[in-house]
Amino acid sequence: MKVYTLGGYEEVGKNMTAVEVDDQVVIFDMGYNMESVVSSEGQVDEMTTNQSLEIEAVPEDEPLFEADKNVVGIVIGHGHLDHVGGIPKLAGAYDCPIYASPYTKKIVERTLEDDRKNINNPVIGVEKEDEVDITDELSLEFAHVNHSIPDATLSLLDTPEGYVVYGNDMKIDQSPIIEETTDVERLKEVGEEGVKLMIPGTTRVEEDGRARSEESVRVELEDVLNSCYKAGGAVLLSTFSSQIGRLNSVIDANNGRRKIAFVGRSLKEYVESAEELDLINTDQIEVVSYFDECDELMSRVDGERNEWLVVATGNQGEPGAQLDKITSGTYGFEFEEGDHVIFSSQVIPSPVNEANRYELEKKMKEKGVRLYKGIHTTGHAHREDHRDFIQFLDPEQIIPSHGPIQKQGDYVQLAREEGYTLEENIYVSENGRIINLDK
């Protein structure tokens, strides 16, 4: 078995890993480097593959493409752009299907549609717990895990050498909002059957304890909205557009007290896909994305400040996102002293994001806006969650991913407590490395 660590091993994002077994290669994820995407001011969709590679927005896949490897499948773990964004740029080079869970399949199809590249790979939806034969020797199953987007999975690749378990965004949420808790029983069964390799994420492994639940955020949101509504004034909220459970919590916390609007293209797209699978109900919500729609809505909000709760894109402070436009007076709405903005998110750590968010908050404070930050929980496992995954799956080998060497090092420290030895059965990697695993 060979493992190609192509992307996500020197950064958080740009995820892409390939596993070769008996001359058959399965690719896991094809993601964007979101910092490069933000720096390009959203123009990456219009770029060619080579242009995307030049700005390091997508993984370098030369070890597969130039060697003419026999790629038999592309497996996508969930629908975040750092896992699916590179598909339009890279997937067309491989004559094979793309496998994804139902909600992720919809996101992949929208991503291909938005990028407008002629990608002919069939996209196959796989229900969790169904088993699909990729070849005579390799089969795939998705196990349910909790994350900050619906239908997140651990990818279970059954090979003649044992399971390969790929899942670099996951946690165990005992009180999720719209889905079941991570399927711990199935993970234990797979561990008993034999796991050759686990490829986990490292995004929050340095955080002690366990990631808190979405239910705790729902309670906090209700408390903050109660305070804002009593004080009066305009109330705006921003969260990640794919955070469908969080959007349901916002609707529940509002409890019919104000009219709700969702403002922004990515919100519209993620919500429409979720509604098709009955994951959210927007019958009583106004969803807008085009400039004229947003302008008309925000003009109404300006005159009915105590009647609306506006959920807008742009929680990272991205220039040109809806929250930035609203703050800058692009529409027929102006913030007044005492208005409220709730950030149900955290700043993704990067110099670009931190600078953008600082500038956005500065503009809001100059207008007298009251800010509520950190009403959020992560979708990523903390240290003790990761320990559980190691103990449930009991893998022979581990290759930590989805983070630079510092985060991989934090994971190695944890794995050593569970009996693993560096470069013997756990590996620190980098983009472009090929790791040979003995049978």
* 432 φ, ψ (degrees, to nearest 5): 95, -5
* The pLDDT value given to residue 51: 87
Give the model confidence (pLDDT) of 45-85 as tens digits.
778 888 888 888 899 999 998 888 999 999 999 999 999 99
**Least reliable range by pLDDT among 181-190, 345-354, 423-432:** 345-354
* The pLDDT value given to residue 66: 83
Give me the mean pLDDT over the 408-417 stretch.
97
Q: Give the residue with greater pLDDT, 342 vs 347.
A: 342
Give the model confidence (pLDDT) of 242-253 as tens digits.
999 999 999 999
* 253 φ, ψ (degrees, to nearest 5): -65, -35
User: Can you tell me the distance from the alpha carbon of 341 to that of 315, in angstroms, rounded to the nearest whole number?
Assistant: 10
Give the model confidence (pLDDT) of 201-213 as tens digits.
999 999 999 999 9
| Chain mean pLDDT for the chain | 94
For residue 367, name the pLDDT band (cuts at 50, 70, 90): very high
For residue 375, name the pLDDT band (cuts at 50, 70, 90): very high
* The pLDDT value given to residue 439: 54
Give me the mean pLDDT over the 24-48 stretch.
83
- Torsion sign across C-alpha atoms 309, 314, 315, 319: negative
Give the model confidence (pLDDT) of 129-144 as tens digits.
899 999 999 999 999 9
Whether residue 115 is predicted with pLDDT greater than 80 in this model: the reply is no
Q: What domains are defined for the chain? A: 2-210+379-436 (3.60.15.10), 214-372 (3.40.50.10710)
Whether residue 438 is predicted with pLDDT greater than 90 in this model: the reply is no
Whether residue 394 is predicted with pLDDT greater than 60 in this model: the reply is yes
The predicted model scores a pTM of 0.93
Helix, strand, coil percent content, the chain, rounded in steps of 5: 35, 20, 45
User: Can you tell me the distance from the alpha carbon of 148 to that of 240, in angstroms, rounded to the nearest whole number?
Assistant: 9
Give me the mean pLDDT over the 92-111 stretch.
95
**Least reliable range by pLDDT among 56-60, 235-239, 326-330:** 56-60
Neighbour order of strands in the sheet with 162-167: 131-133, 139-144, 153-159, 162-167, 195-200, 397-398
User: Can you tell me the distance from the alpha carbon of 127 to that of 214, in angstroms, rounded to the nearest whole number?
Assistant: 24
Query: CB of 114 within 8 A of CB of 45?
Result: yes
Cβ atoms < 10 Å from Cβ of 256: 9
Give me the mean pLDDT over the 165-185 stretch.
95
* The pLDDT value given to residue 41: 65
User: Can you tell me the distance from the alpha carbon of 96 to that of 316, in angstroms, rounded to the nearest whole number?
Assistant: 36
CA distances from 138 to 177, 252, 297 (A): 34, 43, 52
Give me the mean pLDDT over the 365-389 stretch.
96
Give me the mean pLDDT over the 310-326 stretch.
95
Residue 158: DSSP 8-state: E
* The pLDDT value given to residue 39: 72
Residue 279: DSSP 8-state: S
Q: Give the residue with greater pLDDT, 12 vs 230.
A: 230
